[in-house]
Amino acid sequence: MAKRASKKTSTRRATTSAKVPFIRVAPPGPKARAWLSRDEQALSPSLTRVYPLVVEEARGAMVQDLDGNRFLDFTAGIAVVATGHSHPDVVAAIQKQAKRFIHIAGTDYYYPAQVQLAEALNRITPGKGPKRTFFTNSGAEAVEAAFKLARYKTRRPLMLAFYGGFHGRTMGALSLTGSKVSQRRHFAPLVPGVTHVPYANCYRCPYSLTYPSCKMHCVNVIKEVYFKTTVPPEDVAAIIVEPIQGEGGIVVPPPEFHPLLKQIAKDHGILYIADEVQTGMGRTGRMFASEHWGVQPDIITIGKGIASGVPMGATVASADVMDWPGGAHANTFGGNPLACEAALVTIKLIEKKFITNAARIGGYILEELKKMQARHRLIGDVRGKGLMIGVELVRDPLTKDEAVRERNDVVHRCFEKGLLLLGAGHCVVRFIPPLMITKQEADTALEIFNEVLTEIEQH
C-alpha cells in the first residue's frame, strides 16, 4: 500500500484565515435565492431543509455560501465531517486513489484498502475476538445488513427497537425507527416483526422522579410486560439500540441502561445491535459510545463520520455472528475505494488527535451550556457526551411543555447570525460540530446561541 499522510501533514487541519462568522448580505442573498428556486423545481420536496443555506465551499468548521457569507458549522453535515470540511489529508488520499482507480466492485474482486479498512474497523470497535465487516453506502444500509444478519444468524423472526430511536428510512430501517410519525406516515405495511419499547429518556419519564429507585422501569418493562404478554423472547432475533439517541433528541440514558439491556439479550440468546451510525467514530469522546458503559455489542452499525463525508457505512460483527455464505448479502458500491482511502485517513486522524479534542471541547461546551441554563428560562435540559450535545427548550420547566416554535426560531436566528445548528427531537437544539473544533470556535458559537436565546426570551 502506498505510504499514507506523513507525520507532519497528519496533524494539520483545513483552516481559513478569514473571519468566521461573517455576514455580508442577509441570507439567502441574491445568488443563493436563484438556486433555491431552481432547487424547488428540481428536487424532491421530501427533504428536511430548515434554513436556506446554499453552499459554495467549506473548510474545517467554516462553510461559505454563494453570496460570500461565512458560517461557523456546528452541524458537520449531520455529524459526518468528523475531521472538518475537506481536511487536506483526506482530500490528498481521495485524489491519489482517484488517479489509480475509482471503482472496482468489492463484492466481486479484491483490493488492499478494503481489507485494511475492515481490519482497522475490526480493531477499533469494542469487543475482543475475531470480527468481520460488511461495507455499505449509508447508515440505513448498515442497519439493513444488521437486521438481515440477526435474522439469518438466529433464525428468529422478531426485533425489539425503541421509541425515539432513529435507524434510517429504507423499509427495514424505517420499520425499526420510532422517532417521528411523519417518517412512517403512509408507508405501511412496514417489515413485520418489530416491537417498539420505551427508551430510558429519564427527562420525560414519570418513573424517573424516583430514579434510581425506579429500578430502570424501562428495561424491566421488557421482561415483565413484553416478554410475558406479546413478545416471546425466544422468537426475538435482536434488540437494536442507539447508545445515545441522536435524532430522537440527544437522549443520554443512565449508566445502568445498556449493561442491563445487554444482560437481557444475553439471557435469551438475543443479539444486541448498537446503532453507532451517529455516536461512532469519536463523536462522543470515545471511538464508540458503547465504550462509555463497557458494553460489547454483537453487531455494530457505523456510518456518518466514518469517511469524513464520502458516503460509506459498515456493519461490524463478531466472526461467529457474521457467518453467512456467499450470496446471502452484497452490494455494488459498498467499500468503494475512494471511501476506503478517506476512512483510513479519518481513523488515523481521529485516533491521533480528534478523539481527545472531542472529549475536551465537548466537556467544555457542555459545562458552559449548563451554566447558561441558569440564565435562560427556555432551557429545560442540557445533555450529551463529547461533541454530541443537546439543549432541550421548554415553555415551562415544571410542565416541560415543548418549546417547538422557539426551538425552530433559535436555529433560524443563529443561522442569520452565522452559526449553523440543527434541531433534534421536537424541541432540542443539537450541537454536533466537526471533531477538530477549537475552544475559540466553541466560545463564538456559545456567544451567538446565548445572544439569540436572550432575544427570543425577550419577546
Task: Give min distance, CB of 438 to ligand PLP, in A.
Answer: 25
Which residue's Cβ lies closest to ligand PLP? 139
Task: Give min distance, CB of 23 to ligand PLP, in A.
Answer: 29
Task: Give min distance, CB of 173 to ligand PLP, in A.
Answer: 6
Q: Extract the C-alpha cell encoding 386.
A: 463529547
Contacts with ligand PLP in 229-258 (CB under 6 A)?
Answer: 242, 246-247
Contacts with ligand PLP in 109-148 (CB under 6 A)?
Answer: 138-140, 143
Nearer to ligand PLP, 32 or 420 (CB): 420
What residues form DSSP beta bridges with 73? 420
What residues form DSSP beta bridges with 302? 314
**How many residues does this entry show for the chain?**
459
The DSSP code sequence of 394-449 is BS-TTTT-B-HHHHHHHHHHHHHTTEE-EEETTTEEEE---TT--HHHHHHHHHHH
Please select the residue that binds ligand PLP; options are 89, 275, 392, 402, rule is CB under 6 A: 275
Please select the residue that binds ligand PLP; options are 135, 166, 288, 431, rule is CB under 6 A: 166
Q: How far from 366 is each of 65, 124, 320, 386, 390, CA to CA, in Å? A: 29, 26, 39, 8, 9
Nearer to ligand PLP, 172 or 303 (CB): 303
Please select the residue that binds ligand PLP; options are 167, 262, 286, 383, rule is CB under 6 A: 167
| 176 binds ligand PLP, rule: CB under 6 A | no
The number of residues that bind ligand PLP (CB under 6 A) is: 14
Please select the residue that binds ligand PLP; options are 83, 133, 278, 290, rule is CB under 6 A: 278
Nearer to ligand PLP, 29 or 334 (CB): 334
Q: Which region, judged by CB under 6 A, interacts with ligand PLP, from 49-57, 272-280, 370-378, 436-444?
A: 272-280
Task: Give min distance, CB of 298 to ligand PLP, in A.
Answer: 17
Site string for ligand PLP, 283-322 (x = CB under 6 A): --------------------x-------------------
Nearer to ligand PLP, 168 or 423 (CB): 168
Task: Give min distance, CB of 191 to ligand PLP, in A.
Answer: 15
Answer for the pair 168, 174: CB distance below 8 angstroms, yes or no: yes
- CB-based contacts of 29, cutoff 8 Å, min separation 6: 65, 66, 67, 68, 69
Task: Give min distance, CB of 334 to ligand PLP, in A.
Answer: 13
- CB-based contacts of 125, cutoff 8 Å, min separation 6: 131, 287, 288, 300, 302, 316
Task: Give min distance, CB of 143 to ligand PLP, in A.
Answer: 5
Task: Give min distance, CB of 277 to ligand PLP, in A.
Answer: 3
Dihedral-angle region of residue 144 (phi above 0 means left; psi in -120 to 50 means alpha; beta otherwise)? alpha
Site string for ligand PLP, 187-226 (x = CB under 6 A): ----------------------------------------
Distance CA 15, CA 6 (A): 18
Q: Please report how the helices 439-458 and 404-416 are oriented relative to each other, as an axis angle in degrees rounded to 10.
A: 130
Please select the residue that binds ligand PLP; options are 277, 307, 340, 410, rule is CB under 6 A: 277
Task: Specify the pairing of strand 313-318 against strand 299-302.
Answer: antiparallel
- Which among 192, 215, 183 is positioned nearest to 202, based on CA atoms? 215
Nearer to ligand PLP, 140 or 379 (CB): 140
Nearer to ligand PLP, 143 or 218 (CB): 143
Task: Specify the pairing of strand 313-318 against strand 131-136.
Answer: antiparallel
Nearer to ligand PLP, 250 or 403 (CB): 250
Task: Give min distance, CB of 251 to ligand PLP, in A.
Answer: 12
* Count of beta carbons in the 10 Å neighbourhood of residue 375: 11
Q: Which region, judged by CB under 6 A, interacts with ligand PLP, from 9-17, 146-154, 163-171, 383-391?
A: 163-171
**Residue with grid cell 486513489, as numbered in its chain:** 97
Q: Extract the C-alpha cell encoding 230.
A: 406479546
Answer for the pair 169, 188: CB distance below 8 angstroms, yes or no: no
Q: Where are the alpha helices (DSSP H) in 223-354?
A: 227-229, 257-267, 337-349
Task: Specify the pairing of strand 379-385 against strand 388-393.
Answer: antiparallel
* Sites of contact with ligand PLP (CB under 6 A): 138-140, 143, 166-168, 242, 246-247, 275, 277-278, 303
